Structure 1
Amino acid sequence: MKLIIQIPCLNEAEVLPETLAKLPRSIPGVDTIEYCIIDDGSSDDTSGVAKRWGVQHIVRHRRNKGLAEAFRSGIDKCLSEGADIIVNTDADGQYEGADIAKIVAPVVTGEADICIGDRSVGNNAHFGAGKRLLQRLGSYVVRTLSATDITDAVSGFRAISRDAAQRINITTDFSYTTDMLIQAGRKKLAITSVPIRTHAATRPSRLFKSIPKFIQQTGVTILRAYTTFNSLRVFVGLGMLATLLGVFPIARFLWFFITGDSQGHIQSLVIGGALLTVGVLVTVLGILADLIATNRKLLEANMLKLRRIEEKLDQPKQSAKPAPSADEGDSDFRRRA
């Protein structure tokens, strides 16, 4: 079984060596461990540091494309290199490298398709009170919308089986974490979490400039992902709400009409009719969106088949490539540690 640990990076040349030194060299149930750096348009020597430290796979973006695109690039690279399990972690040392064995274990044993590293947000000493509250609230929303039982939805420390990685198609440009969970939950993938250790942040987050901006972008991501997989429910619900609101002014007009006092209340009829029209149109949009969502499912099924066909075609190439042994990889990292 082959594990590839991927690390999205943006100007991490200074901290990357320490992060790489703490990555595990062996894990029970895993035959081969390799590393993948996604250099997301760094202006420093991130890629050079990764090469000097013997990282087997390096993906470089010519310019910064954001965390979601870096994650996508890493997943594609890991899949093409034959990974059976993919672990995503950060370069800034927030997560404890030794805990990779903990999040990989449920995937190795087949108990889960995805395992999330739970940072115990509620009592994490490295988080302020405001951040703990926002994290818990956000995780509750994602947990509800994704129909999963994950208490730390935005943790980027996660292990993913090959099958799950092939089925997930990240569509957001901001952060993959919530989009991935909502997709996985709606696709009935087995998701679990395990408690992990964290370290204090060494620098401000590069993902967002302010908490309000983070809330806005995360909210848009969650709404888009949920609507994508529940379009009929969302649009029909909105349509029924508009229709219900339209009934009240029409009923008001009819009441005055029956009692002989309809003069001067025509505006109620106009408002009610407009709301009923909006309700019908939104419901029709829901039906169309559901048909599009059904078409998306068919396209994703075809994409999965194509990926597996490509794998079979690439297998002769993979078997012909000489792979470094675990001992060689260990000695290479020890020389640099």
Structure 2
Amino acid sequence: MTKLIIQIPCLNEAETLPATLAKLPRQIDGVDTIEYLIIDDGSSDDTSGVARRWGVHHIVRHRRNRGLAEAFRSGIDRCLAEGADIIVNTDADGQYEGADIAKIVAPVVAGEADICIGDRSVARNEHFGSGKRMLQRVGSYVVRTLSATNITDAVSGFRAISRDAAQRINITTDFSYTTDMLIQAGRKRLAITSVPIRTHAATRPSRLFKSIPRFIQQTGVTILRAYTTFNSLRVFVGLGMLATLIGLVPIGRFLWFYFSGDGDGHVQSLVIGGALLTVGVLVATLGILADLIATNRKLLEANMLKLRRIEEKLIEAEAQRTAPAALDTAETLRKAG
């Protein structure tokens, strides 16, 4: 039995949510059960009430707004607790075509991918302006390079995730999960693919960011943090070597004048060079410490994964133990009635 849960992070989506829910699939090849989950991220309107009236199976509500990354994280945790084999994340604003969920789920159902991203074909998408197209292409290139993947639409939130991948990914950013998740998945050697999807024109401005410069800043910080987390030794040792090489220039200048008999007036070059060499050594040392911390993180994540699977087995065993007792009680009540 394959269970799919479609999760939708929401913030004041009472008006757009019904149209989005109406377009979600009820049947998909290779999937036995489809359920819906809404993450109400501190909405001030009746988003949760609309979800209940439309028969949404699961509702997670934050008492105040925590941001998209936290909403995504809460949804994943609930989907795993509800026994989802595949999780699909989509938006509530109708940007994505609900029928295309079957397309992004197919590679996961077939066992060909752990994660499948809906590719909006940014370069040809008529709903994106030229500036946004350029930013999306540059950003996707950076993420593709740093994550060692071949995904051309890195910030697409329309994605399908296998249960195993969802258990292995630990979102650490407070902004947007998209790039953080891809860099993690690539560095953890999960199988990632993408399929072309359809999109619709935006019905409202983005609630994730207030301006393009703000989005670039936040995304850049997220990418840098995620990459450094998994490549700390390379980053810090590289920076340390750069500082060391720069420090060698003024030291070489001082030595040139010193052996030329004119070293007295150039001691400042020796001081600056020595300071840069010291900084280089310290930064490289930080890289070694950061790498040790990263190794510890891997061990912790491995233990978390084992604990999650042990909990699942215990829950399944408890369900199997209580099921016969529940049937006997029901049969007793039927006979008594």
Which category describes the TM-score, using the shorter chain as reference length? over 0.9
Secondary structure at the residue paired with 1:173? coil
Q: What residue number does 1:59 align with?
A: 60
Aligned-residue offset at 1:319: 6.4
Aligned residues: 322
Aligned-residue offset at 1:320: 9.0
Q: What residue number does 1:151 align with?
A: 152
Q: Matches of 2:86 and 2:146 in 1, distance apart?
A: 26
Query: What amino acid is the match of 1:229?
Result: F
Q: What residue number does 2:258 align with?
A: 257
Q: What residue number does 1:185 align with?
A: 186
Tell me if the contact between 1:82 and 1:318 (Cα under 8 Å) persists in the aligned partners: no
Alpha carbons of structure 1 residues 320 and 93: separation in structure 2 relative to 1, 3 Å: farther
Secondary structure at the residue paired with 1:153? coil
Aligned-residue offset at 1:170: 0.1
Q: What residue number does 2:302 align with?
A: 301
Structure ranking higher on relative contact order (CA contacts 8 Å, 6+ apart): 1
Aligned-residue offset at 1:158: 0.0
Q: Matches of 2:286 and 2:155 in 1, distance apart?
A: 31
Instruction: Give me the identity figure in percent.
Output: 87
Q: CA RMSD in A?
A: 1.2
Alpha carbons of structure 1 residues 115 and 229: separation in structure 2 relative to 1, 3 Å: same
Deviations 1:282-310 (Å, cap 9, x if unpaired)? 00000000000000000000000010011
Structure 1 window deviating more from structure 2 (172-181 vs 254-263): it is 254-263
Q: Residues 104-115 of structure 1: matches in 2 within 5 Å?
A: 104-115=105-116
Q: What residue number does 1:333 align with?
A: none
Query: What amino acid is the match of 1:313?
Result: L
Q: Residues 44-193 of structure 1: matches in 2 within 5 Å?
A: 44-193=45-194
Query: What amino acid is the match of 1:289?
Result: A
Alpha carbons of structure 1 residues 236 and 69: separation in structure 2 relative to 1, 3 Å: same
Secondary structure at the residue paired with 2:261? coil
Deviations 1:101-137 (Å, cap 9, x if unpaired)? 0000000000000000000000100000000000000
Secondary structure at the residue paired with 1:150? coil
Alpha carbons of structure 1 residues 52 and 196: separation in structure 2 relative to 1, 3 Å: same
Q: What residue number does 1:235 align with?
A: 236
Secondary structure at the residue paired with 1:125? coil
Secondary structure at the residue paired with 2:265? coil
Deviations 1:259-286 (Å, cap 9, x if unpaired)? 1000110000000000000000000000
Secondary structure at the residue paired with 1:265? helix
Deviations 1:42-81 (Å, cap 9, x if unpaired)? 0011001101111110000000000000000000000000
Tell me if the contact between 1:119 and 1:198 (Cα under 8 Å) persists in the aligned partners: yes
Secondary structure at the residue paired with 1:267? helix
Tell me if the contact between 1:68 and 1:173 (Cα under 8 Å) persists in the aligned partners: yes
TM-score of the pair, normalised by structure 1: 0.94
Q: What residue number does 1:283 align with?
A: 284
Aligned-residue offset at 1:318: 5.7
Query: What amino acid is the match of 2:242?
Result: L
Q: Matches of 1:16 and 1:312 in 2, distance apart?
A: 35
Q: Matches of 2:218 and 2:322 in 1, distance apart?
A: 42
Alpha carbons of structure 1 residues 125 and 115: separation in structure 2 relative to 1, 3 Å: same
Query: What amino acid is the match of 2:100?
Result: D
Q: Matches of 1:316 and 1:97 in 2, distance apart?
A: 36
Q: Matches of 1:109 and 1:318 in 2, distance apart?
A: 28
TM-score of the pair, normalised by structure 2: 0.94
Alpha carbons of structure 1 residues 148 and 275: separation in structure 2 relative to 1, 3 Å: same
Higher-Rg structure is 2
Structure 1 unmatched ranges of 5 or more:
323-337
Aligned-residue offset at 1:313: 1.4
Q: Matches of 1:248 and 1:319 in 2, distance apart?
A: 72
